[in-house]
Copies of this chain bind each other. A is one copy, B any other.
Amino acid sequence: MDRKNWTLNSTETPPTKEFLDEVRSDDATWILTSAFIIFTMQAGFGLLESGMVSRKNEASIMVKNAVDVIYGGLAYWLFGFALSFGVSEQGNAFCGLGNFMTDADESDMGQVFSKYFFQLSFATTATTIVSGAMAERTNLKAYTLYSFINTLTYSFPAHWIWDDNGWLRKMGAVDIAGCGAVHLVGGVSGLVATLMLKPRTGRFDANSPRKEMASPTNVLLGTFMLWWGWLGFNCGSTFGISGMKWKLASRAAVVTINGSVGGGILGMIYSYICFKNKLNIPIFVTGILAGSSA
């Protein structure tokens, strides 16, 4: 969504921090429910990826998506939330400071914990996006380290665009549902990982027999879970439901579905053209997911 739509009242200033941060009890219902939904995306990515790899690596992919939450959760609690949204006065345009080992007392725990929990769901998603790009080519210990570090990597751009002090925010940039901080960061990390790790063994080797997917059923099940996850992700990004936010959340829901309609149709057409009139499942689901997340 662009800035003009967001502000809705045709005022020309971007939404203030106060506006975004003011949370009421009915906002909390929306924020927490959305974050719960976003956490299910770990399972969705896990199934999507584990269904595509060879059968012997199925379970290890699922484990890695659990590791994303565990070590990403550790990193975000220790450092990440502070780097993104720390409120200490030493915070600057590049990173926040303060709120390390995030805690809160009774006066501000609602604001802090609802924001922390929602932002954590974004942070772990940014990490898990990369797990597919590294599938079948990383051992678990290396991946564990990666999960920890990538969560910190994410915390900086999240500060730039979402914190009051962030330099991108100050320039007037608006990123409602993480197309920059989550998708671009995840995409670039995935590209770097792919360049370093090279393709999967035999993936583009014309002589080796094409490996079978472990479970096309799980690929589709994972796609459905991510589909619903993007609804939580995009609609929950209003960070509340009161005031006019429910109108934006409703629109985001329709746009998400319509995006997946377009992406799915395109994926299907592309499949029929390039794969001898047959549906290629990975192309098809990539179309759906690219459309719904965009």
A residues near B, CB below 8 A? Answer: 5, 8, 23-26, 28-30, 32-33, 35-37, 39-40, 42-43, 46-47, 50, 58-59, 62-63, 65-67, 69-71, 73-74, 77, 102, 104, 106, 109-110, 113-114, 116-117, 120, 140, 144, 215-221, 223-225, 227-228, 231-232, 235, 241-247, 249-251, 253-254, 257-258, 260-261, 264-265, 268, 279, 281, 284-285, 288
Most buried by B among A215, A221, A244, A258: A221
Of chain B, the residue at the smallest CB distance from A229 is B36
* Closest Cβ–Cβ distance, residue A221 to chain B (whole Å): 6
Q: Which residues of B contact A249 (CB under 8 A)?
A: 28, 32
Q: Which residues of B contact A59 (CB under 8 A)?
A: 216-217, 219-220, 281
A interface majority secondary structure = helix
Partner of A254, one of B50, B116, B268: B116
* Closest Cβ–Cβ distance, residue A31 to chain B (whole Å): 8
Q: Are B220 and A218 in contact (CB under 8 A)?
A: no
Q: Are A62 and B217 in contact (CB under 8 A)?
A: yes
Query: Given A46-B221, A220-B59: A69 and B260 within 8 A (CB)?
Result: yes
Given contacts A70-B261, A113-B250, 8 further A-B contacts (CB under 8 A): A8-B106, A26-B241, A32-B235, A35-B253, A59-B220, A65-B220, A65-B224, A69-B261
Q: Which residues of B contact A246 (CB under 8 A)?
A: 23-25, 28-29, 32, 110, 114
* Closest Cβ–Cβ distance, residue A25 to chain B (whole Å): 4
Q: Are B39 and A284 in contact (CB under 8 A)?
A: no
Q: Which residues of B contact A231 (CB under 8 A)?
A: 36, 39
Q: Which residues of B contact A8 (CB under 8 A)?
A: 106
Partner of A66, one of B30, B242, B257, B264: B264
Q: Which residues of B contact A218 (CB under 8 A)?
A: 217
Q: Which residues of B contact A23 (CB under 8 A)?
A: 246
Q: Are A47 and B257 in contact (CB under 8 A)?
A: no
Q: Which residues of B contact A268 (CB under 8 A)?
A: 70, 144
Query: Given A36-B228, A110-B246: A66 and B29 within 8 A (CB)?
Result: no
Q: Are B250 and A58 in contact (CB under 8 A)?
A: no
Of chain B, the residue at the smallest CB distance from A254 is B113
Q: Which residues of B contact A279 (CB under 8 A)?
A: 63, 140
Q: Which residues of B contact A288 (CB under 8 A)?
A: 66, 70
* Closest Cβ–Cβ distance, residue A252 to chain B (whole Å): 9
CA distance A24 to B245 in the complex (A): 11
Q: Which residues of B contact A28 (CB under 8 A)?
A: 241, 246-247, 249-250
Partner of A117, one of B35, B70, B254: B254
CA distance A106 to B113 in the complex (A): 32
Q: Are A73 and B261 in contact (CB under 8 A)?
A: yes
Q: Are B140 and A228 in contact (CB under 8 A)?
A: no
